[in-house]
Amino acid sequence: MALTGREILRLFVENDKDAIFKYNQLCGLLISFDQWSENSKSEFLTQFQDAYRDAGSECSRFVESLCTIQWRHWSTPQQREEFVLFLTRIAMSEVFHLKLIFETMFEHLRPDPSLSPLPNALIESEISEEVKQKNLQTQAQIYELAISGISSILCANPTCQHVLLRAAEFKFPHSKGPASHFLAYLKNMIILADKCPPIAQELWILIINRLLQIDAIISRSTKEVKGQFSANESSIFSMEEENIKDDATTRQMEVELTEKLDKAMMIVLARISKGRKDISNECNAEETKWIENLELNNTDVLFEHLWPAFCESTLAAYDVQSVPFIWFYLCSFEEKYTNYLLKFLWNVVTLPSFVPNAWKKSQNAANFLGAFIARANYIKFDKAFSWMKKMANWCNEYINAAGLRKNVEGCLQHGAFYAVVQALLFTFSFRYKEFVEYNCVKEVHSWGLARIIHSQFQPLRFISRVISLGFATISRQLQIVYCVHIMDENGPAKTPIEHYLPFSILQLPVSSSVIIPFIRKFQPADEDADHISIDFEDSKKRYNSSGDNDFDFMEDDDDDNQMDESQPNFTAVLSTSPYSVFASTMTKAKYITHH
């Protein structure tokens, strides 16, 4: 009497000799499943579709053999669906098989090379259009079945989140692998995050971590070809949005990674924009079609899903220039997101933490705080003013707490102070035109900037060289504080902070077009527009050739700290100032893309 599929598994566990023979024979045959006839495939499903309860931990070899089957080998969509349902039920019934089945399903979230050949592959040109369309439909169904299977298992067993996330990370394509595989998996992960709210935050953390890896490689490559001043520093005071685009793409060794990250960023921005903003004009319309079937989540829900990825991953990263624009763009939709983010960053800076290496996160929080206030054109002046005043008050309180301590300059434990000073001076210098327009320069004198600059911490010697030069020029023009004489000519040999300036360079040509409308470009006051420059070589020459006349400003400051008609014009100031700072050293971007 022939044994049914369920009987084979049940009797195998009971050590029945006939069942053991049939079981081993079946496992061997499953390895060559692609050579089975259609009748054999259909008969297999009929025999085993109800046997999932009998596939316990003892039947691990059987389940392993099932997981070697490529889903494309099923003859019809219905058979494919029944097989995935069979795997799903096994995972629901026996947690022993969870890891293996999850890895199988995440493996099928990657493109099948037989269904989705790499671009420009020879095999692609040999396939008829009809076969191509059929392959695309098969691939789309496989993606849908894998996502459905994963979400169903998670719903039935919520405690399996850790196993699921490990499998998702394990199967994530390598950053230097084929772009088509990386981007397809990325899309499917975003869809899965929408389908599985309980693990959406963790999935987004995984996604952002992979994007940050690529971003770090590109940013480092860009920085290496920029010379003394890093890319993000040399472009922070560019006066046109095109001038903050990176022109070093042609010299990068990571051009392919740049294109991959650019497309990946467009995928993420498209998801954020669904139902909120049409970005189809900024990219190929075909690239945004995949979001049409996604549900329109409340913006609050999407912000909640993405927020932990910023706190845990992005804020701890260093020298990444592109990925942080995700939250820069997201915060533009509602003011409450910006308020929440700025308050969070400030708490990270000011609240004590006993976590190892928390100092780095604290400094990065200050960097992001200053960058958001300076760069985001959706942050109005009154809000920026209040935040700058809060930073100045904190710095003065810090100095008060330090008392008369000596030999504190450049110490690592005071890194948070230096980072806040850097953020304050950068924001003030970047938006100084608004202080002039709103007649708020007089109020700045009450912030105690002179006390901060000339404190025992000597902040101008240790913060970003470009920001120091910029503030020195602006503060001299506005008669706030003269400070260029306290800066070292070549900067400090060691610094307690990392000169990381987010949102200061756009190195992705396509996704940048979505971000640019929300970026504030540097604009000098009207009377200064023709005289602002940021030529570092010229600045150094000015410093070396500076004479006694450079200190004439201090006499004027003693008499009157306000802006008045007797104040020397900007041309005269720059003619004697040691530094001439504030014009772009960067040319318009030129990008090379593969066609």
User: What secondary structure does DSSP assign to 283-322, as a single string?
Assistant: S-GGGGGGGTTS----HHHHHHHHHHHIIIIITT--S--S
Joined tokens for residue 52: 């999932």
Q: 19-23, 355-359, 364-368, 520-524: which range is least confident on average?
A: 355-359
Buried b (16+ CB within 10 A) or exposed e, 216-255: bbbbebbbeebeebbbbbbbbbbbebbbbbbbbbeebebb
pLDDT recorded at residue 122: 47
Report residue 304 as tokens.
Answer: 């909640």
Check pLDDT > 60 for residue 114: yes
Question: DSSP secondary-structure letter at 111?
Answer: P
pLDDT digits (tens, 9 = 90+) for 442-457: 999 999 999 999 998 8
Confidence band, pLDDT 50/70/90 cuts, at residue 290: confident
- Residue 183's contacts (CB-CB under 8 Å, 6 or more residues apart) are 260, 263, 264, 267
Task: Please report the pLDDT score of residue 63 as a whole number.
Answer: 95
Single pTM value for the model: 0.83
**Share above pLDDT 90 across residues of the chain, in percent, rounded to a whole number:** 50
Mean pLDDT across the chain, nearest whole number? 81
Compute how many other C-beta atoms are within 10 angstroms of the C-beta atom of residue 95: 14
Q: What are the DSSP calls for 22-71, one per residue?
A: HHHHHHHHHTTGGG--HHHHHHHHHHHTT-GGG--GGGHHHHHHHHTS-G
pLDDT, one tens digit per residue, over 479-500 is 888 887 777 665 565 788 888 8
Which of the two residues, 6 and 337, has the higher pLDDT score? 337
Per-residue pLDDT for 583 more than 90? Answer: no
pLDDT at site 24? 94
Give the pLDDT score at 566. Answer: 35
Q: Are 509 and 242 a contacting pair, CB within 8 Å?
A: no
* pLDDT for res 367: 94
Strand partners, 519: 376
Q: What is the pLDDT of residue 223?
A: 61
Share above pLDDT 70 across residues of the chain, in percent, rounded to a whole number: 78
How many angstroms separate the CA atoms of 101 and 94, rounded?
Answer: 11
What is the reported pLDDT for 505?
84
Residue 246: pLDDT band by 50, 70, 90 thresholds?
A: low
Q: How confident is the model at residue 110 (pLDDT cuts 50, 70, 90)?
A: very high
